Structure 1
Amino acid sequence: MEKEIWYQKLNIYFVGFYLIFSICLITYYLANGQLYYATLGLGGILLLLLPAAFERVCGLVPVYQFRFLLYGFSFLAYVVGLAMQGYHFIPLYDKVMHTLSGTFGTFLGVVLFYILKHGRRVQQQDFPLVAIFSISASMAAAGLWEIGEYLVGIFFPCDPQQVALTGVSDTMQDMIVCLVGSLLWLPFLFRYYRKQKADFLMGCFRTFLSKNLSQEEPYGMEE
């Protein structure tokens, strides 16, 4: 578990950077009277609590590589994208992050599948059901995100879905590229079940399973 020790240390530095960056951002917005964006900055800090809360609710042992993925994605998608308004000022950043959210959401769907599965054993015949479940979970998360943006547009003087400019096009494009991100990762997921070859995400998944299986049911791919 040397890799886990390395990620544990990396998380300390990254979370420290994340906090300092967010506090500076909040201070800047407050100084300029932009309370809405200052509130978004505070929300980014609260996201740091989610991994530990998720582990506690599900009774999981911390996986620091998994935590780093969550912290990193939160920083790029929320802090840079929303709080820093990167979705508006960086060309194609919105579409790139929605594509990545499809891949990352599908990966989280795989993790959730085995949290719910009795025994949490990985079997080759799981692939079709895992693929359907994880892509569905990713698209459900994308739908909830768009609902959230819609509600923000109702209660705050902003238009995160760009309805005034694009109608429903921006929302539909976000959903489509999210699906593309899910499908692009599907061959790597298939390779894991067929040949037990893990990319970076499935390597993280292996670590997650090895730390959260009962001693009576050791980790391994079954036929």
Structure 2
Amino acid sequence: MQIKKHTDRGNDLFELVMYVVAAICLVSFLIKGEAAKVMEAALIIGVLLLIRIVVKITKTPMFAALRFSVLLFICITMILANELGFYGVIPYLDKFEHLFSGVILCFVGLLIYKKANDRETTKTHNAHVAIWLSLFFSIAMAGVWEIYEFTTDHLLGLNSQNGSLIDTMTDIICGTSGAIATSLYLAVKAKYKKMPLLDDSRS
């Protein structure tokens, strides 16, 4: 329990730093007159606030690993890649984003399983079922995202997939790889250390 408190405190600090960085960027780009960058900075703050609002409304708090993964993903994609222009600095940054999205979606699948299972009167958890559901959910969402990109590219004239099947499949493979790695981690944790999220006894 003490470890959990320290982890949550670390996530709180991480989120606070992101607010500060976004605020600095907003003021800096506002002075420079770069409206697009100002909007991106405002969007970062808005997304962070929206996550808190959704958690509060749904009464579904994110466990530490998921929260950290989401914050890190926002930091990489919205702050480093878009706001600070790291797409041109770090090669294949887009692929790392898809890889990491597989990790996040696997944790989201785990949270969905717990939320749905807690509604049952027995409230018994099966770690194996939870892990498989999380894995398949994450892989499916990788495919759904590419369907979304394909649709917007053709309907709105965008170029998210670079007009390439290779780009599409590489993105799906990256997302799937992240999901597999996370599910293996969860399987090892469930076997040797138990999973606090699914262990009502918190042993």
After TM superposition, the score normalised by the length of structure 1 is 0.70
In the alignment, what sits opposite 1:192?
A: 189
Cα deviation digits, residues 23-62 of structure 1 (max 9, x gap): 2223344444443333222221122124433432332457
Structure 1 alignment gaps of length 5 or more: 211-217
After TM superposition, the score normalised by the length of structure 2 is 0.75
Q: Could you tell me which amino acid in structure 1 is paired with residue 100 of structure 2?
A: L
Alignment RMSD: 3.4
In the alignment, what sits opposite 2:176?
A: 179
In the alignment, what sits opposite 2:113?
A: 113
**CA apart distance, 1:116:** 0.8
**CA apart distance, 1:96:** 1.7
Structure 2 alignment gaps of length 5 or more: none
Q: Could you tell me which amino acid in structure 1 is paired with residue 57 of structure 2?
A: V
Q: Could you tell me which amino acid in structure 1 is paired with residue 188 of structure 2?
A: R
- Conservation of the 8 A alpha-carbon contact between 1:4 and 1:65: no
Determine if the alignment matches structure 1 residue 219 to structure 2 residue 196. Answer: no
Cα deviation digits, residues 95-153 of structure 1 (max 9, x gap): 12211211221122112111111254322xx51x4344212322344345442696499
Q: For residues 65 and 168 of structure 1, do their structure 2 counterparts lie closer, same or farther at Cα, with a shift above 3 Å needed?
A: closer
Work out the CA distance in 1 between the residues paired with 2:144 and 2:132.
18
Q: For residues 53 and 152 of structure 1, do their structure 2 counterparts lie closer, same or farther at Cα, with a shift above 3 Å needed?
A: farther
Which among 114, 122, 127 is matched to residue 125 of structure 2? 122
- Conservation of the 8 A alpha-carbon contact between 2:105 and 2:138: yes
In the alignment, what sits opposite 2:55?
A: 55
**CA apart distance, 1:21:** 0.9
**Higher mean C-alpha displacement, 69-78 vs 56-65:** 56-65
Work out the CA distance in 1 between the residues paired with 2:40 and 2:145.
15
Q: Could you tell me which amino acid in structure 2 is paired with residue 48 of structure 1?
A: L
Q: For residues 135 and 50 of structure 1, do their structure 2 counterparts lie closer, same or farther at Cα, with a shift above 3 Å needed?
A: farther
Give aligned pairs, total.
Answer: 199
Could you tell me the percent identity over the aligned residues? Answer: 21
**Higher mean C-alpha displacement, 139-148 vs 21-30:** 139-148
**CA apart distance, 1:77:** 2.9
Q: For residues 11 and 83 of structure 1, do their structure 2 counterparts lie closer, same or farther at Cα, with a shift above 3 Å needed?
A: same
Work out the CA distance in 2 between the residues paired with 1:154 and 1:96.
27
Structure 2 matches for 1:46-125, cutoff 5 A? 46-60=46-60, 63=63, 66-117=66-117, 118=120, 119-123=122-126
